[in-house]
Amino acid sequence: MATPALSDTIPPASASPTSSCADPHAPFEVLIDSSPASAGHPLKYRPLQPELFAGVFKDEWLAAPFAAALERGTEASLRALLHEEVGGRVYSFEMLRPDFCAKLIAETEHYEASKLPVERPNTMNNYGVILNRIGMKPLLDQLQRRAVQPLAALLFPTEGSELTSHHTFMVQYKKGEDLGLDMHHDDSDVTLNVCLGKEFTGATLSFCGGFGTEAHRKHVHTYTHRVGRAVVHLGSHRHGADDITSGERYSLIMWSTGAFRLTEAYKAVHSRNLHGADGGQPDPICLSYTHDPDYGEYLPYPPGKAVKPQSRELHLARFTDEQAALKAEDLKVRGTADFKEGAWRAAACKYACGVDYARKAGRGAKELLVPLLLNGAQCHLKLGEAAVAAKLCSEALEREPENVKALYRRAVARMQTSENSEARQDLLAAAKLDPSNKEVRARLSECRAAAEAEKIKERALFAAMLQASSAKGTASSVLAVPSNSISNGELEEQAQAAASSK
C-alpha cells in the first residue's frame, strides 16, 4: 500500500520571517507568536540558525534510511524501519540525524538566552518551550506533513489518517529542574517523541494502558530513549517520563490532532472522567498523582501534591455504601502494614483515604471512622505535624466525646505546639474517664512540668522587664498590671519593648 495522501488542511504558519520582502542586508528576524505572553504585541527573534525558520525541512536532517523510505513511499519500506515496542501500539525508529538534534537544542538555548517570553509546553512541564510559538511552525508543519502523517495513517488508521494540526514542543529534564513527567495521556491523537540529547542516564519512558480501558494502569513497557530515535504512540496511551538520574535530556514532542477528534468514538471516551476507574489493582509505576483520584490509596503523595477535592468526590460517588465500607476496611489494614514498617506518610495517606470511604459508607462503616481518624493522627504525630494530628483527633471527638485515645493523642499534639493548658484539659478529661491509664498520668506530669517551666520563664521575663523599666523610671506603671492577666507572649513583648527603649 502506498502511503496515504497527505492532508492540505494544516493551518498556515503563525510566525514568519520579517526580512523576506525587506532590506536583504537586514538581519534575519522572525515574528514570535507571543500571545498571550506579550499581550498581542509582535516580538522579533533573531535566530541562531535561520534555516530552521525558512519552512523547509531538509532531507539531510533525517536519518538516511528514513528519508529513503519516505521517498519510496511504500508501506513495506516504512514498516521495515519500525521496531514494535508494544504490539500494535508503540513503535520506534531512527528518525533524525544527531547533528540536526544538536541544532534544535542549540536554537532553543539561544531562544531562552534572548529573554523573549517562553511558553512552557503544558501545565506539567516547568521547562522546555513550545516550538510552534517561537517561529518554527512552518518547519514543523512540513515535518508533520512529510514524515508524521504517513506513519500515523499507517500505524493508527482510525486516529491518524487525517491529521490537521499539531502542538509541538521541546521538553527538558535535568537534576535540580524537572526530573520526569507524571503519568498522563496526551491531548493528541498521535504523539511523536524524538530524543534530541544531550547525554543522560535514567529518563526512560514507561507505558501503561489506553485511557478509558480497564488496563490503563497496567504497565506494558519501559522504553529507553536514544538520541535521534523516535517513538510513536496514540495520545490516549498512558505514559510517563521516569526520573533522570544524571545529565540532561531534551525531546521534541509533536502532538498531532485531526479528524478523529470529531468522531463519536473520541467524544464517548474523552468526555468522561475515567482516571482511576479500573477496579483492579494498579501497577505503582502507572499511578498519576496529577490525575488519579485514588493515588493516595497506593502511594504517598510527593511533597506539595494532593488530590483535588472535586475529583475525589467524583471518584467516591462510583462506590455503593457496601463497596465503600470494604474499601475503608482494606485501607485500614494496608495503612497499618505501612505503619508497622515506619512508612508514616504512606500510612497517613491510606488512613485519610479510608476516612473518605468510611464517611461515604455511613452507618456501614461507623465503627471504622474513629479508628481511621486516630490512626491518621498517630501518623501525623510521628511526622511532626501536630496541628493536623490535633484536627483529626477533634473530628474523632465530635463523634465520640469520651474517647480516651482521642483525648490523649490530641493532648500529645497540643503539647508539641506548646498549648499546655489545652493539653492539660484533655488529659484531665482522659484521666477522669480512665483513672488507671498510666500513659495519661505520665503525660499529665509532663504537662505539669512544662507548665511549671513556663511559669519560671514567665517570672524571669517579668523580672527582666521590671529591671528594664525601673532603669527608665517607669516601674510603677508596669507594676500596676497584675501578672496573671498577661500572657507569656504579651510579657515577652513588654519585656522586649522595655529593653529596647533603654
Interface residues toward ligand AKG, by CB under 6 A: 121, 171, 181, 186, 193, 205, 239, 241, 251, 253
- Least CB distance from residue 75 to ligand AKG, whole Å? 27
The residue assigned the cell 505572553 is 37
Binding partner of residue 205 among ligand AKG, Fe ion, none, CB under 5 to 8 Å per kind? ligand AKG
**Spatial contact of 392 and 406, defined as CB atoms under 8 Å apart:** no
Which residue number, 229 or 312, has a Cβ lying nearer to ligand AKG? 229
Binding partner of residue 171 among ligand AKG, Fe ion, none, CB under 5 to 8 Å per kind? ligand AKG
Which residue number, 18 or 188, has a Cβ lying nearer to ligand AKG? 188
Identify the burial level of 501 via C-beta atoms within 10 angstroms of its C-beta, where 0-12 means exposed, 13-18 middle and 19 or more buried.
exposed
Q: Quick one: DSSP state of residue 136?
A: T
Which residue number, 239 or 443, has a Cβ lying nearer to ligand AKG? 239
Which residue number, 126 or 421, has a Cβ lying nearer to ligand AKG? 126
Query: Which H or E element spans position 497?
Result: helix 488-500
- Least CB distance from residue 374 to Fe ion, whole Å? 41
- Least CB distance from residue 314 to ligand AKG, whole Å? 24
CA–CA gap between residue 188 and residue 199 (Å, rounded) = 28
- Least CB distance from residue 123 to ligand AKG, whole Å? 11
Q: Quick one: DSSP state of residue 144?
A: I
Which residue number, 35 or 224, has a Cβ lying nearer to ligand AKG? 224
Binding partner of residue 133 among ligand AKG, Fe ion, none, CB under 5 to 8 Å per kind? none
For 378, half-sphere exposure in the C-beta direction (CA atoms, 13 angstrom radius) is 19
- Least CB distance from residue 289 to Fe ion, whole Å? 15
Residue 321 phi, psi (nearest 5): -60, -40
Q: Tell me which residue has its CB nearest to ligand AKG.
A: 241
- Least CB distance from residue 100 to ligand AKG, whole Å? 18
Binding partner of residue 67 among ligand AKG, Fe ion, none, CB under 5 to 8 Å per kind? none
Three-state secondary structure string covering 441-482: HHHHHHHHHHHHHHHHHHHHHHHHHHHHHHHHCCHHHHHCCC
Three-state secondary structure string covering 350-390: HHHHHHHHHHHHHHHHHHHHHHHHHHHHHHHHHCCCHHHHH
CA 419 and chain centroid, separation: 35
Site residues for Fe ion per CB under 5 A = 186
Which residue number, 186 or 242, has a Cβ lying nearer to Fe ion? 186
- Least CB distance from residue 398 to ligand AKG, whole Å? 45
Cis peptide, bond prior to residue 36, ω within 30 of zero: yes
- Least CB distance from residue 259 to ligand AKG, whole Å? 22
- Least CB distance from residue 235 to ligand AKG, whole Å? 9
Binding partner of residue 241 among Fe ion, ligand AKG, none, CB under 5 to 8 Å per kind? ligand AKG
- Least CB distance from residue 286 to Fe ion, whole Å? 14
How long a stretch of residues is the chain?
A: 502
Query: Which H or E element spans position 230?
Result: strand 229-234
Which residue number, 186 or 189, has a Cβ lying nearer to Fe ion? 186
CA–CA gap between residue 82 and residue 353 (Å, rounded) = 44
Binding partner of residue 293 among ligand AKG, Fe ion, none, CB under 5 to 8 Å per kind? none
Which residue number, 121 or 150, has a Cβ lying nearer to ligand AKG? 121
**3 state DSSP class of 329:** helix
Which residue number, 182 or 493, has a Cβ lying nearer to ligand AKG? 182
Measure CA of the first residue to CA of the last residue in the chain; give whole Å. Answer: 94
Which residue number, 186 or 338, has a Cβ lying nearer to Fe ion? 186
Q: Tell me which residue has its CB nearest to Fe ion.
A: 186
DSSP 166-220: EEEEEEEEETTS---EEEE--SSSEEEEEEEE--EEE--EEEEEETTSTTTTS--
Q: Quick one: DSSP state of residue 148?
A: I
- Angstrom CA distances, 235 to 161, 210, 232, 239, 251, stand at 14, 9, 9, 9, 16
